[in-house]
């Protein structure tokens, strides 16, 4: 039998009707008509809509609706008086933009030497160095904040900037480095043949080609620092309040919901403007023509070898200082034993770990179910509606966690009052984790060859069985990786949890913050010990993810 698959129009042309036993045993649900040698498949619109319904309800009720309520409250109930409110809004807004810009520039400058080293050269330990530089990024923000408190850097703008550089260096190294390593060496060689020196080649050839990756990396760093909460709150407190911290202060400390809503509105406008600007830039700048299919790294020789050692060794040494001091100071006291003792104010601190694990497990299940269903919709259908669906699912990633938690308190009193329910904690965590699951599983689903589905249709297999027998085994590994990411995100989430957690449902990040807020060396020591425990758990999960070899998922 001669079969030719027409991928473009979604049909399969058969040279002769199939006559094997499997085809004769096809049940009444068969969607193929072979009368004239053409497969006419039942429209998949209803299946697409039903699959999209659950994620749409989830994102609509737990994200779009709360954000809409914040916008309504912020626009309709805020009134400016003569108390200097306008001046404070301007001051907080300006400081937020200023520190985010400064953090982004400093991160780019700090990460540049190591990015150059791991991108241009192949040396022993390069993969390990790239993995180690990623460790700070996956740490919960409260751990990073606690590490800089252990250094004695507190109540200082320079401490905030240094913590942001520590946290976001991996974004520059990973994002820019991936593109830099794939630049076509022939283009760079041509510049040298024409008489350009190393610096002129970099300035006039390499740097322009790297601009899309630099724009992507700096945009991500800016958004993370613009919406930074845990690091700023722990290190800077209310004296160096950003929009994120001020939203928390007005809603939790002063219970001024209209003002908090107005601040959240300002923040949403800033995030949207940054995302829009980056999107426009990416549409106009691309350098895919200059990329090579293979890595262009070379072995370092002479002065380049010394530069690589200095760049990699210096960067990793500086990044190791905060965590090393945190571990050392936590071991120097009886703090770990105190975690298991009952405290009159916070109870037994280690019990927060049990809460974190329970919430992380529930959040993981929710995020994987919603994320895989969403990925099936996005990968199985193209067009404007699918793109908008994908964009809507990504919005929680660009929205501050504090805004999400605040939106829950403002909006989720109808039709059922969930504001005092413990379920809001894992739901908030899942909402933030769903975009990660989607981004991991969509490429895997799109990598499945269309002829597998077409062959199953010829044999009369229902779409549900095709998903279970073909798609699910392939996507299962990606879903497992996504579930691990969701688990880690839930463990370290602090912004939204600070709004919706209750005394009986305190998580490890919230407990660390409460211990840091109390005076005394005993409380500080317990906070450091709990931060080390949270960091160790996070690192263990991330190392397990790395062993899954995600890059091979979906390959054939």
pLDDT digits (tens, 9 = 90+) for 332-389: 668 888 889 888 778 889 999 999 999 999 999 999 999 988 888 887 766 677 777 7
CA atoms within 13 A on the CB side of 216: 16
Residues 69 and 100 in one domain: no
Task: Output 551 or 261, whichever has higher pLDDT.
Answer: 261
Mean pLDDT of 69-83: 66
Residues 208 and 235 in one domain: yes
Mean pLDDT of 404-427: 84
Dihedral over Cα of 203, 205, 208, 210: its sign:
negative
Of the pLDDT bands very low, low, confident and very high (cuts 50, 70, 90), residue 48 is: low
Mean pLDDT of 503-520: 87
In a domain, residue 542? The reply is yes
User: Tell me, what CATH number does 158's domain have?
Assistant: 1.10.3720.10
Task: Output 376 or 542, whichever has higher pLDDT.
Answer: 376
Residues 17 and 104 in one domain: no
Residues 31 and 69 in one domain: no
**Region of 549 on the Ramachandran plot (φ > 0 left; ψ -120 to 50 alpha; else beta):** left
For the chain, the average pLDDT equals 78
pLDDT of residue 419: 80
At how many degrees (to 10) do helices 257-284 and 401-411 cross?
Answer: 130
Task: Output 477 or 358, whichever has higher pLDDT.
Answer: 358
Residue 494 tokens read as 């602090």
Burial-class residue 301 by CB neighbours within 10 Å (0-12, 13-18, 19+). Answer: exposed
* CB of 180 closer than 8 Å to CB of 115: yes
Q: How would DSSP label each residue in 389-409?
A: HHHHHHHHHHS-HHHHHHHHH
Euclidean distance between the first and the last CA atom of the chain, given in angstroms as a whole number = 24
Residues 30 and 68 in one domain: no
* φ, ψ of residue 422 in degrees (nearest 5): -70, -20
Residue 259 tokens read as 């003002």
Nearest-angstrom CA–CA distance, 183 and 185: 6
Query: What pTM does this model have?
Result: 0.74
* CB of 16 closer than 8 Å to CB of 2: yes
Residues 251 and 274 in one domain: yes
The residue from 299, 316, 345 where one domain ends is 299
pLDDT of residue 266: 79
- What residue numbers bound the domain in which 27 lies? 1-42
Q: Could you tell me where the DSSP H helices lie in 332-423?
A: 335-338, 351-380, 384-398, 401-411
Is residue 37 over pLDDT 90? no
Dihedral over Cα of 49, 50, 54, 57: its sign:
positive
Residue 543 tokens read as 């190392």
pLDDT of residue 1: 35
Least confident of 11-15, 301-305, 532-536: 11-15
Residue 334 tokens read as 């009886």
In a domain, residue 316? The reply is no
Nearest-angstrom CA–CA distance, 114 and 315: 7
How many helices (H) does the chain have, and how many strands (E)? 25, 2
pLDDT of residue 546: 61
Summarize pLDDT for 143-165 with one digit per residue, the tens. 898 899 888 888 889 999 999 99
Residues 60 and 100 in one domain: no
pLDDT of residue 286: 52
Burial-class residue 153 by CB neighbours within 10 Å (0-12, 13-18, 19+). Answer: middle
* φ, ψ of residue 80 in degrees (nearest 5): -90, 135
Mean pLDDT of 444-468: 70
Burial-class residue 494 by CB neighbours within 10 Å (0-12, 13-18, 19+). Answer: buried
Mean pLDDT of 482-498: 86
Of the pLDDT bands very low, low, confident and very high (cuts 50, 70, 90), residue 39 is: very low
Burial-class residue 294 by CB neighbours within 10 Å (0-12, 13-18, 19+). Answer: exposed
Is residue 290 over pLDDT 60? no
Dihedral over Cα of 176, 181, 183, 185: its sign:
positive
Of the pLDDT bands very low, low, confident and very high (cuts 50, 70, 90), residue 45 is: low
Highest mean pLDDT among 173-187, 508-522, 531-545: 508-522
In a domain, residue 222? The reply is yes
In a domain, residue 325? The reply is no
Residues 17 and 129 in one domain: no
Of the pLDDT bands very low, low, confident and very high (cuts 50, 70, 90), residue 100 is: very high
pLDDT of residue 260: 79
Residues 22 and 93 in one domain: no
In a domain, residue 321? The reply is no
In a domain, residue 436? The reply is yes
Mean pLDDT of 253-268: 78
Mean pLDDT of 238-248: 85
Residues 130 and 151 in one domain: yes
pLDDT of residue 77: 57
> Could you give the number of structural domains in the chain?
3
In a domain, residue 313? The reply is no
Is residue 7 over pLDDT 80? no
Nearest-angstrom CA–CA distance, 227 and 205: 34
Residues 212 and 272 in one domain: yes
Residues 91 and 25 in one domain: no
Q: Which residues contact 320 (CB under 8 A, 6 or more apart)?
A: none
Is residue 308 over pLDDT 60? yes
Highest mean pLDDT among 161-170, 294-303, 468-477: 161-170
In a domain, residue 308? The reply is no
CA atoms within 13 A on the CB side of 407: 27
């Amino acid at each position: 039998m001669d079969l030719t698959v027409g991928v473009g129009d979604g049909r399969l042309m058969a040279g002769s009707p199939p006559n094997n036993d499997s085809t004769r045993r096809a049940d009444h649900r068969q969607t193929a008509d072979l009368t004239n040698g053409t497969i006419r498949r039942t429209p998949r619109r209803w299946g697409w809509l039903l699959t999209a319904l659950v994620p749409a309800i989830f994102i609509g009720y737990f994200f779009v609706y709360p954000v809409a309520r914040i916008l309504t409250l912020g626009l309709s109930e805020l009134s400016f008086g003569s108390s200097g409110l306008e001046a404070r809004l301007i001051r907080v807004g300006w400081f937020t933009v200023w520190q985010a810009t400064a953090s982004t520039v400093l991160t780019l400058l700090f990460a540049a030497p190591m990015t150059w080293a791991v991108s241009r050269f192949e040396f022993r330990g390069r993969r390990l160095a790239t993995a180690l530089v990623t460790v700070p990024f996956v740490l919960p923000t409260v751990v990073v904040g606690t590490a800089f408190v252990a250094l004695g850097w507190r109540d200082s703008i320079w401490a905030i900037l240094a913590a942001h550089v520590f946290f976001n260096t991996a974004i520059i190294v990973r994002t820019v480095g991936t593109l830099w390593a794939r630049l076509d060496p022939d283009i760079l060689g041509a510049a040298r043949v024409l008489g350009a020196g190393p610096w002129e080649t970099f300035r006039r050839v390499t740097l322009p080609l790297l601009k899309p990756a630099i724009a992507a990396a700096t945009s991500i760093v800016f958004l993370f620092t613009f919406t930074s909460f845990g690091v700023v709150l722990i290190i800077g407190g209310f004296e160096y309040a950003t929009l994120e911290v001020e939203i928390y202060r007005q809603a939790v400390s002063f219970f001024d919901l209209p003002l908090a809503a107005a601040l959240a509105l300002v923040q949403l406008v800033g995030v949207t403007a940054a995302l829009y600007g980056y999107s426009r830039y990416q549409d106009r700048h691309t350098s895919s023509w200059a990329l090579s299919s293979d890595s262009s790294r070379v072995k370092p020789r002479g002065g380049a070898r010394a530069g690589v050692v200095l760049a990699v060794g210096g960067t990793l040494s500086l990044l190791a200082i905060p965590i090393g001091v945190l571990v050392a100071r936590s071991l120097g006291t009886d703090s770990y034993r105190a975690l298991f003792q009952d405290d009159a104010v916070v109870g037994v601190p280690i019990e927060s770990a049990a809460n974190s694990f329970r919430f992380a497990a529930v959040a993981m299940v929710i995020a994987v179910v919603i994320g895989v269903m969403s990925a099936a919709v996005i990968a199985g259908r193209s067009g404007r509606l699918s793109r908008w669906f994908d964009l809507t699912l990504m919005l929680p990633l660009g929205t501050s966690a504090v805004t999400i938690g605040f939106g829950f308190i403002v909006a989720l009193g109808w039709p059922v009052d969930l504001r005092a329910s413990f379920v809001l904690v894992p739901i908030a965590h899942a909402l933030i984790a769903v975009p990660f699951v989607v981004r991991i599983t969509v490429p895997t689903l799109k990598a499945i060859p269309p002829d597998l589905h077409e062959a199953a249709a010829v044999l009369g297999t229902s779409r549900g069985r095709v998903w279970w027998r073909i798609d699910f085994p392939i996507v299962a590994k990606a879903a497992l990786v996504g579930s691990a990411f969701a688990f880690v995100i839930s463990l370290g989430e602090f912004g939204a949890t600070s709004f919706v957690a209750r005394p009986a449902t305190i998580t490890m990040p919230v407990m660390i913050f409460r211990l840091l807020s109390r005076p005394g060396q005993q409380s500080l020591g317990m906070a450091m010990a709990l931060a080390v425990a949270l960091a160790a758990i996070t690192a263990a999960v991330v190392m397990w993810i790395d062993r899954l070899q995600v890059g091979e998922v979906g390959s054939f």
